[in-house]
Amino acid sequence: MKSNVELNPLAPDWLELPEDVNAVAPAIWPAHLSRSEAGEIEIAGIGVDDLVSQFGTPLFVIDEADFRARAVAVREAFEAAADQIGTTAKVYYASKVFLCTEVASWVDELGLNIDVSSGGELAVALAAGVHPSKIGLHGNNKSLIEIGRAVTAGVGAIVIDSEIEIERIASTAGAQDKIQPVRLRVNSGVHAHTHEFLATAREDQKFGIALSDVPALVAKIRSHSHLKFLGLHSHIGSQIFAVDGFVESAKRLIAVHAELLKFGEVPELNLGGGFGINYTRADDAPELTEFAQQIAQAVEDECKLHSIAIPKLAFEPGRVIAGPTTVTIYNVGTIKDVTVTDVGAPQVRKYVSVDGGMSDNARPALYEADYSALLASRQSTAPPALARVVGKHCESGDIVVRADYLPADIAPNDLLVVAATGAYCYSLSSNYNFLTRPPVVAVKDGSARLLLRGETEADLFARDVLYQTNLANGKSKSQRG
């Protein structure tokens, strides 16, 4: 760390100088990503040059075998932890992290359930053939249409987020003469960040019901013959590295759960998602197996304390399944050595511009998220230089990788790969500056398959009414007006 500070004071404290700037750190890259003898990055046996000649840049590449293996490992971690305390666990893939029909069918086939948080995500899960009973619907402001679609489909659970929704769901289910299973989302007052958590009476945010209001609302749910109460739900945050927030939240929920048991059944307890992953070499994400065991242990202890039976558990991991399985390949454009003088002696930060940016990865702009990059199309013997990878948008906050060391000889037309872009990147993508959304491919055993094609300008013009009207009238731009 010392030599790093000496080398470039612009580098954040956590960023160490890599021993080998070409090295692939296994903790942050997909399982089947490696550098070939010739120095090119390959994913599941396909080189980045080959991928880019087939699909262009920017390009999202999912290591399919890694995705499948992680989905199974995550499901098994929670199932095994639940089994140890004599109960079961349902695992829902939080589809908002990344969703298309094929990925929905993978998780379905691998024995996971799926969470959706809008009518659109519900439509994708249903189109993928996921059985409605395996779908959970979330959202703090579900429309009547969304509730109607979910009840009609027969989803396995709707997570109620406010008192108003009780009547809405009950009357929708009543009109269809159905019994709709529901959970109640609780604001446990626990909010977890990566390394710490904050506990208050009620966390100051929009989701969930205050713990003190839960008994009255559950009584209301139980008064409706068209609703079936499954239990309480909490989700305390995302990218969490410390288990204590989950433990605290579970304790608070179980205390109320025990009260609710005095007046009726409470078969399940859903503790949400939020499990953290590595984005940089400095991150040290928890081992999920241990994490799950510690949460299960806390549930068992707390149930004992209240002398109640251990409920069936449910979890909703998203990022921890999809995040590490995917990389983004970019083409390097302009490069600028920017001399910064406000840190004492002048220091240089190398700005490397790529052909995407905040439109395909909004997280650095949204929450100053950190990422890691490698020169992918070749290896280099040049010394490492502190670099910032930036996009091509008209915003100075359009950052892809805030700080990482790249070979000092990085040049236009080199390819870069950015790690861990499988969660909250494509799903948060936009058409800012009229950029088209990149394609998403799955690679496996040496071949690549398109899951989502890239957008074209024609896709963007398809919704432009005057353009389409002129097109329909056979008018070109020059004939207009």
Ligand X SMILES: *Cc1c(COP(=O)(O)O)cnc(C)c1O
231, β-bridge pairs? 183, 268
The residue from 156, 181, 245, 272 that contacts ligand X (CB under 6 A) is 272
CA distance 250 to 146: 29
Among 66, 121, 165, 316, binds ligand X (CB under 6 A): 316
Distance in Å, CB of 420 to ligand X, minimum: 12
Name which of residues 231 to 260 contact ligand X (CB under 6 A).
235, 238
DSSP for 201-217 reads SS-SSSSSEEGGGHHHH
User: In this structure, how many other beta carbons lie within 10 angstroms of the beta carbon of residue 411?
Assistant: 13
Note whether 317 binds ligand X by CB under 6 A: yes
* Cis before 58 (ω within 30): yes
Query: At closest approach, how far in Å is the CB of 138 from ligand X?
Result: 5
Q: Which of 139, 391 has the CB closer to ligand X?
A: 139
Strand (E) or helix (H) holding 479: none
Determine if 148 is a binding residue for ligand X (CB under 6 A).
no
Single out the residue of 30, 58, 156, 318 in contact with ligand X (rule: CB under 6 A): 318
CB 263 within 8 A of CB 228: no
Task: Choose between 90 and 350: whose C-beta lies nearer to ligand X.
Answer: 90
CA–CA distance, 73 with 174 (Å, rounded to integer): 39
Q: At 144, phi and psi to the nearest 5?
A: -60, -35
Closer to ligand X by Cβ: residue 243 or 375: 243
Cite the DSSP H helix spans in 269-393.
288-305, 319-322, 363-367
Indicate the residue among 75 and 235 with the shorter CB distance to ligand X. 235
* Contact with ligand X (CB under 6 A) among 273, 357, 384, 454: 273
Residue with tokens 């995302």: 238
Q: Is 147 helix (H, G, I), strand (E, B) or coil?
A: helix
Supply the residues annotated as catalytic. Answer: 394
Encoded one letter per residue, x for contact with ligand X by CB under 6 A and - for no contact, window 389-428 reads: ----------------------------------x-----
Q: What is the largest CA-CA distance in the chain?
A: 80
- Of 9-17, 23-31, 82-90, 314-322, the window that binds ligand X (rule: CB under 6 A) is 314-322
Residues of this chain, 84-143, that bind ligand X according to CB under 6 A: 94, 96-97, 138
Q: How deeply is 337 buried, as exposed, middle or buried, from its count of CB atoms within 10 A (0-12, 13-18, 19+)? A: exposed
Residues 134, 168, 224, 319: which binds ligand X (CB under 6 A)? 319
Closer residue to ligand X in complex, CB, 58/139: 139
Chain residues in the site for ligand X (CB under 6 A): 94, 96-97, 138, 235, 238, 272-275, 316-320, 423
